[in-house]
Amino acid sequence: MGWLALAVVLLLAGPVLTLAFGNGAMRGDWRTATHHATGQAPDAATHPEAIVQVYASRTFGWRGAFAVHTWVAAKPADAARYMRYEVIGWRAMGGRSALSIGDDVAADAEWYGAAPTVIRELRGAAAEAVIARLPAAAASYPYATRYSAWPGPNSNTFVAHLGREIPELRLALPSIAIGKDYLPAGHWLAPAPSGTGYQVSLLGVVGILAAREEGIEINLFGLVAGLGLHPPGLKFPGVSRIPGGL
């Protein structure tokens, strides 16, 4: 019991420190939180090539100490705007679809005041190959009318689904993308979101993942620790990766 208690304390240390010293998006009023563009998406007017970017941003409030929200932005060659593919929890109220696909929000917009980080980018022919498969992959998401912040299905479950459906994306989601490891009851084995390995998961609550892109991850109640390979580093709940970065 002593070792278990120590493990829990260590797993919670990162989220506690993040909550104590995190950015302003973890406080304030969500109704007045900003959604400004952050200048990370190349200007479509001066970058005619196809572009795919995957973003991660801290979730609003105390949940931001534990998790990020992820989405995909895509611009075909010569297109004037980016399309955002994401799942937004409040949209699922009343049994409606939580899936959001549109160009009315900037590709790189803040998520309720928190600036996002680009975690994957493809350009040119590689981006075109992914864009060609995005609509069908999004349409095949099986949990569009279900949403649960923990352990999933949620926004990160959706982006992980896109990664599994489109291996060319080579998508290694941050270890703090809670919900990425969600698998339904009766389905405990699946490819890793990057398509470069496999994971075993029980409803996203406990599991283990081993893949060339993600490295090794151990999930206990949604808190993930492990060893990253590309780039090398330790993965830790709340802070994702040491040395820093998502």
**Model confidence pLDDT, tens digit, residues 128-183:** 999 999 999 999 999 999 999 999 999 999 999 999 999 999 999 999 999 999 99
- The most distant pair of C-alpha atoms in the chain lies apart, rounded to whole Å, by 60
What's the number of domains the chain is made of?
A: 1
The verdict on residue 172 lying in a domain is yes
For strands 83-87 and 99-102, give the pairing. antiparallel
The verdict on residue 5 lying in a domain is no
User: Within 13 A of 30's CA, how many CA atoms are on the CB side?
Assistant: 8
The verdict on residue 3 lying in a domain is no
Domain containing residue 125: 33-242
> Distance between CA atoms of 87 and 97, rounded to whole angstroms?
9
The verdict on residue 27 lying in a domain is no
The verdict on residue 17 lying in a domain is no
Between 186 and 9, whose confidence is greater?
186
Burial class (CB in 10 A: 0-12, 13-18, 19+), 66: buried
The verdict on residue 227 lying in a domain is yes
The verdict on residue 6 lying in a domain is no
For strands 197-202 and 99-102, give the pairing. unpaired
Helix ranges (DSSP H) in the chain: 2-21, 125-139, 155-165
The verdict on residue 61 lying in a domain is yes
* pLDDT tens string 98-117: 999 999 999 999 999 999 99
Between 93 and 180, whose confidence is greater?
180
> Distance between CA atoms of 119 and 97, rounded to whole angstroms?
26
Work out the percent of the chain whose per-residue pLDDT is above 90.
75
